[in-house]
Amino acid sequence: MPHTYMSRQKNNRESARLLRQRPLIISGPCSAETEQQVLETAHALKSIGRVDVMRAGIWKPRTRPGNFEGVGAVGLDWLQQAKKETGLPIAVEVATAKQVEKALAHQVDVLWIGARTTANPFSMQEIADSLRGAKVPVLIKNPINPDIELWIGGLERIQKAGIEEVGLIHRGFSTYGNSEFRNIPTWQLAIEMKRRFNELPFLIDPSHICGKRSLIQNVVQNAIDLDYDGMIIESHIRPDEAWSDAQQQITPGELLKLLNNIVWRKDGLSSEEINESLDRMRRIIDNLDDEILTLLGKRMEIAEQIGGLKKTHNLTVLQTTRWNQTLMRLYEHAKRLGLSPEFVDQYFNAIHMESIKHQTKIIS
Ligand code: PEP
Ligand code: MN
């Protein structure tokens, strides 16, 4: 065993305070690239005075081979040095038992589990087993697919291994086709997870949701409006030159600006604050409306594909029995959600008409 029980204990005492910071701000590069980059970033992050933990990916799970896959364990030495020079606690991603062992041996203060790993119960169990007896805090990202049970399962495996300090990271979900986001936020799933585990720190990862800088501020504000406890956000001293995820990284200086632009939540409301909270809710509504529109766009794409099939097989565009069955199902669902049948009629008839237009266009 390269790590001792004592060093884990010490780890925990420092880190237990860490995850209780509000807002909790974790930042640093997508990947550790060179010793100089890690140290420069650490000093820049330290100097803005708002960062609680420095992150850096050491082993990078890339979706496809051939991209930069991380510097490996040597990066842990650089991070330890960064911690020594700045006092900033350090966080890395782990995906295997071996990586857990190496990270703990290097006194990493916080571990996080990536979205591709959370999606795999075999990996989660392997990591959980390797953490047995350790005292390090662990943050668990949502799985890449929008499956709340899988996320909960990952959390449970880590907790059952005896890890007491755990937290959750919302980093969005994979999607096929056009979306302004790299990983769509699907706020309603995250809100449900947060509701079920209200006592756990709940962080936003705007970098991996957005995939590009221009969207980050808005997503962070949404999360703060929804009472998230903080964020894990990628930053790099020279973002455009980053070896991974260049488009979504910001400089430490830009991070400070972003933090200063946030409207933070307060307890109790004055009339000014009521206006503020109205604004916040409107932003959430705007966001939901955008999501509805995106879904409608997707629905029309499928309708057009069906149109193609109907054309090939010479079927009518309007299939009344099918539409009646659909409406019946929707009435039932709507009732459970407290929505009236009149609303279902108006709303879905409009959608249906639009679908028919799309199909007719394909068929004729
Ligand atoms: C990361 O944090 O750099 C990362 C790989 O994230 P995710 O697991 O969310 O894709
Ligand atoms: Mn990244």
Average pLDDT, the chain: 91
Q: Confidence band (pLDDT; 50, 70, 90) for 351?
A: very high
61 or 335, which is more confident? 335
* 245 CA → ligand 2 middle, Å: 5
The torsion angles phi and psi of 218, rounded to 5 degrees, stand at -65, -40
Distance CA 25, CA 350 (A): 45
The torsion angles phi and psi of 113, rounded to 5 degrees, stand at -110, 130
9 or 363, which is more confident? 363
H or E element that contains 110: strand 110-113
Q: Which atom of ligand 1 is nearest to the CA of 117?
A: 8
Q: What is the pLDDT of residues 217-263, one digit of tens each?
A: 999 999 999 999 999 999 999 999 999 999 999 999 999 999 999 99
> Read out DSSP for 347-360?
HHHHHHHHHHHHHH
Using a 6 Å cutoff on CB, does residue 30 contact ligand 1?
A: yes
Does the structure show a pLDDT above 70 at 15? no
Using a 6 Å cutoff on CB, does residue 182 contact ligand 1?
A: no
37, amino acid identity: Q
Using a 6 Å cutoff on CB, does residue 55 contact ligand 1?
A: no
Q: At what angle do helices 252-261 and 35-48 cross, to 10 degrees?
A: 30
Distance CA 204, CA 171 (A): 6
Q: What is the pLDDT of residue 5?
A: 34
* 61 CA → ligand 2 middle, Å: 9
67 or 224, which is more confident? 224
* 68 CA → ligand 1 middle, Å: 13
* 114 CA → ligand 1 middle, Å: 5
Using a 6 Å cutoff on CB, does residue 3 contact ligand 1?
A: no
Mean pLDDT of 144-166: 98
Report the 10 Å Cβ neighbour count for 95: 20
Mean pLDDT of 47-56: 98
Q: Which atom of ligand 1 is nearest to the CA of 112?
A: 2
Q: What is the pLDDT of residues 2-12, one digit of tens each?
A: 333 333 333 44
Using a 6 Å cutoff on CB, does residue 115 contact ligand 1?
A: yes
Beta bridge partners of 24: 230
Share above pLDDT 70 across residues of the chain, in percent, rounded to a whole number: 95
Using a 6 Å cutoff on CB, does residue 171 contact ligand 1?
A: yes
> Read out DSSP for 40-78?
HHHHHHHHHT--SEEE-BSS---SSTTS-----THHHHH
Q: Which atom of ligand 1 is nearest to the CA of 55?
A: 2
* 66 CA → ligand 2 middle, Å: 16
Q: Confidence band (pLDDT; 50, 70, 90) for 269?
A: low
Q: What is the pLDDT of residue 91?
A: 98
Q: Within 13 Å and on the Cβ side, how many CA atoms surround 328? A: 6
Distance CA 55, CA 24 (A): 13
Pick the residue whose CA is nearest to atom 8 on ligand 1.
114
Q: Confidence band (pLDDT; 50, 70, 90) for 14?
A: low
Q: Which atom of ligand 1 is nearest to the CA of 57?
A: 3
Is residue 58 within 8 A of residue 93, CB to CB? The reply is: yes
